[in-house]
Structure 1
Amino acid sequence: MAEVESFTLDHTAVKAPYVRLISVERGPRGDAISNFDVRFVQPNEGEIPTAGLHTIEHLIAAQLRDHLDGVIDISPFGCRTGFHLIVWGEPAVVDVVAGIRESLRFIAEQAEWADVPGVSAVECGNYRDHSLHSAREWSKAILDAGISLDAFERVGV
């Protein structure tokens, strides 16, 4: 069985919130794809409720593309403590953090229900499970805690 990097990470040693570069993969033509661990909540100490995480997912998927070039996907972890971010190229962690901060700032301070994309039965596989209130509260809490540039030390918050 293949080894999955996120299952080898010592989840008791990290200090969330943070952004961590997991890996850079190269395609057959040399194109780089970077995989980031965007951790919002301390593992095994808390989790974002599903409805709030779902709304953050929809909003951040749209917002982050306005602040960071090359976003392929941002998908929540099953443990509900953060997201995998997949991007073309090799952006610096500081640039990823800046884009995440701006996206969370929009969610915390400006987002209205009309801003949340993909919330109908046609567009979403679980359209009834959203909470803008929870998304706002969690986004504010993450911003207040500061997003570290390092997974194991609080750097650049």
Structure 2
Amino acid sequence: MEKQKTLAWHETLEIHELTAFKSVGLMKLKQGIKHITDHRLRSIYQRKINVLESGLRELLELYPATPKPGDSSEYRVDQAFNAGDLLAFSKAEVRNTAIALTETATPYLREMLTRHLNDAIKGHGEIFRYMYDHGLYPSYHLRELLQNDVQLAQKALSM
């Protein structure tokens, strides 16, 4: 399987989030395992540590392919791609904001993140409607949607 020369911006942001999340989790597990005396629980911790380490190594291998200033013109070649990229970002924004909201205890922060979530949902709706209206996301026509996926994948593979 051939690797893309440069990852998309939204992929890079997801890799960033996963790397940070897994790194912090790995540090916590490595600190915690020192205090675990139960053999079975210690074994579970060790397996999870091994999985996180392996996952982090794989994620770090992707960092050389993250976008650098000037790279965007190499793969952002049309309006459909840009709109799709914004749609993907909007989905991630809704998801990440909703997750953050479930972790709040402070009323002011909860109110603020609720506003942010509503704004993110509205933004997602705007870009989805744009794409749908311009025939870029035929979400109610499965055959056409899948054909677009194949065309996009083929375009990406040929780059």
Q: TM over 0.5, yes or no?
A: no
Q: Which has the higher helix share?
A: 2
Work out which of the two has the higher radius of gyration on C-alpha atoms and give 1 or 2: 2
More relative contact order, 1 or 2 (CA 8 Å, 6+ apart): 1
Q: Which has the higher strand share?
A: 1
TM-score normalized by the length of structure 2 = 0.28
TM-score normalized by the length of structure 1 = 0.29
